[in-house]
Amino acid sequence: MAAPAADEAWCRQTVPRVMELVSPRLPLRDVCALLAVSPWCYRALVANPRLWEVLDLREMKNAGDRLISALSLSGISLENLEFLNLNACQKISDKGIEAVTSLCANLQGLSIYWIVGLTDSSIGHITKNCRQIVDLNLSGCKNISDKVMRLIANSYQGLKKLNITRCVKLTDDGLKEVLQKCSSLESLNLYALSSFTDKVYKEIGLLSNLTFLDLCGAQNLSENGLVCISRCGGLAYLNLTWCVRVTDAGVVAIAQGCQSLELLSLFGIVGVTDACLEALSKSCSRSLTTLDVNGCIGIKRRSRDDLLKLFPKLRCFKVHS
């Protein structure tokens, strides 16, 4: 009888201590596996709420089943979950989004990148159930419409980060609502969205806290649009790759207005010349560490040595690949 009692005492006293030390260092999938090892492991892990503040199921097979399992763990409250990553979990549906968000009232960050089957209904569930979102990644959700933009604008006026890469059904009118009401935006990713016009870029220019802006492929972005964007004086990251209408005048405006730029990509823009680099050198040579002018055939001094003479802090010469 003494041995079983000793084993039980060891499990009761030692296992929780070991789990407390080890579990914060493990990937989430390993923590979930440990739940099934023994009742003692289970109780020790369930009793640690910090383990369940972030739920990362990106690209996992059977992510829906894993999500259901996580939601059903006895004793674990997802009310404290702060960030949920479901990137590329293709089999999750609108109903799945409804189920998980109904239990995560305090969620602050949600990433549902490339779940292409989701519709406006999913965003309706998110905005209804999760009122504290400040970081929202909808990249690749190709079926969402301007209705979603209205929901976001009316629900998340404290939004800090928004990624709507390749959400191709969105129009100027929808995005303008977000830009007008979510004035605290710090990061805006509009990668591969070619239909927006200067109506949108004018509104972007009013975002005084913006530090990250990705406009890769913005085919309608003009000199006037860039002049508006140049009012975002805190911009540190600006991707203008394949913005084919951009000229020296627009880049000069950026150089004069955004003097804290750390990354700038002009990849593939044939309408810019050495003049824009000279303007950038005068204003941003102390801050720029990444500059991509590959494919800018109008810029003659674009070798690594030439660029280092103008921008001595450059460490990276390629953004687009």
Least confident range of 70-84, 95-109, 170-184, 209-223: 70-84
Q: What is the pLDDT at residue 39?
A: 75
Q: What is the pLDDT at residue 7?
A: 67
| CA gap 146, 269 in Å, rounded | 30
pTM confidence score:
0.83
| Tens of pLDDT, residues 127-152 | 999 999 999 999 999 999 999 999 99
Q: How many CB atoms neighbour CB 239 within 10 A?
A: 24
Q: What is the pLDDT at residue 1?
A: 44
**Do the Cβ atoms of 168 and 194 come closer than 8 Å?**
no
Confidence grade of residue 15 (pLDDT, cut at 50, 70, 90): low
The chain-wide mean pLDDT, for the chain, equals 89
Q: Is the pLDDT of residue 215 over 50?
A: yes
Q: Is the pLDDT of residue 22 over 90?
A: no
User: CA–CA distance from 316 to each of 84, 109, 248, 275 (Å)?
Assistant: 32, 30, 22, 21
Confidence grade of residue 91 (pLDDT, cut at 50, 70, 90): confident
**Do the Cβ atoms of 116 and 143 come closer than 8 Å?**
yes
| CA gap 122, 109 in Å, rounded | 15
Q: Is the pLDDT of residue 71 over 60?
A: no
| CA gap 280, 282 in Å, rounded | 5
Q: Is the pLDDT of residue 68 over 60?
A: no
Report which listed range, 11-25, 49-63, 79-93, 147-161, is most confident.
Answer: 147-161
| CA gap 80, 49 in Å, rounded | 8
User: CA–CA distance from 307 to each of 182, 194, 272, 283, 313 (Å)?
Assistant: 37, 29, 15, 15, 10
Read off the tokens for 265: 């990509």
